[in-house]
Amino acid sequence: MTNTSTNTDAAPILADHLALDLLNTEARKDGATVDYWHDGADVLRWLAQHGVTLAPGVPAPAPAQLLAQATALRTLAQRLVTARRNGDALDTDDTNALNGYLHAWLSAPSLERNADGAPVLARVTRAEPLAALLGPVAQALAQLLAEGDFGLVKQCEHPDCILWFYDRTKAHRRRWCSMSTCGNRHKAAQFRLKAGAAKS
């Protein structure tokens, strides 16, 4: 049985997809589950790393409420992504729950100017702060479920790693969350096995 431990480090951003980076806010280290979200401030920092922020002057939602809703969305994402990856039908209650996040994220078209001053059509959120923060994440999850190639949705092959990624490599042969961590750990383990076999 694994124990949940705390870790003050930031969640890894290596999945090449926002919805999968959401799943990676939980990881495993030395057999224990690591949750990178301990409070609403952790969630806000993670969202900001993905470019999801509130408009200037808009107050952040209550930290406990943000943490609870973000964690619920992550749990929902785990079930939905796992079902799609396994080729199973999506649970109606789960899709309805995801739609709840999506429907709360109200936006309106707005004519803006880009960096060169040219007019561009953008969408401006009109949702309350909690929905404005979690709506883009819910949309990324919905787009993955509807449009993603689940042959490219993978989990790291290292036995002590549960991180997900979207394999955008040319040959689609990515095996590790990161070559610098799990890839090197695998190489080191293989080297030790060969060295041990050579001695016997």
Q: What is the pLDDT of residues 31-55, one digit of tens each?
A: 899 999 999 999 999 999 999 999 8
**Is 56 part of any domain?**
yes
**Is 31 part of any domain?**
yes
Burial class (CB in 10 A: 0-12, 13-18, 19+), 18: buried
**Is 14 part of any domain?**
yes
For the whole model, what pTM was predicted? 0.85
Write down the pLDDT at residue 6: 45
| Residue 20 · residue 165 · CB < 8 Å | yes
**Is 116 part of any domain?**
no
Lowest mean pLDDT among 67-76, 121-130, 185-194: 185-194
Write down the pLDDT at residue 2: 37
> What does the alpha-carbon distance between residue 33 and residue 23 come to, in Å, rounded to a whole number?
13
Number of domains in the chain: 1
| Residue 15 · residue 165 · CB < 8 Å | yes
CATH number at residue 169: 1.10.3300.10
Structural domain boundaries, residue 58: 4-103+130-199
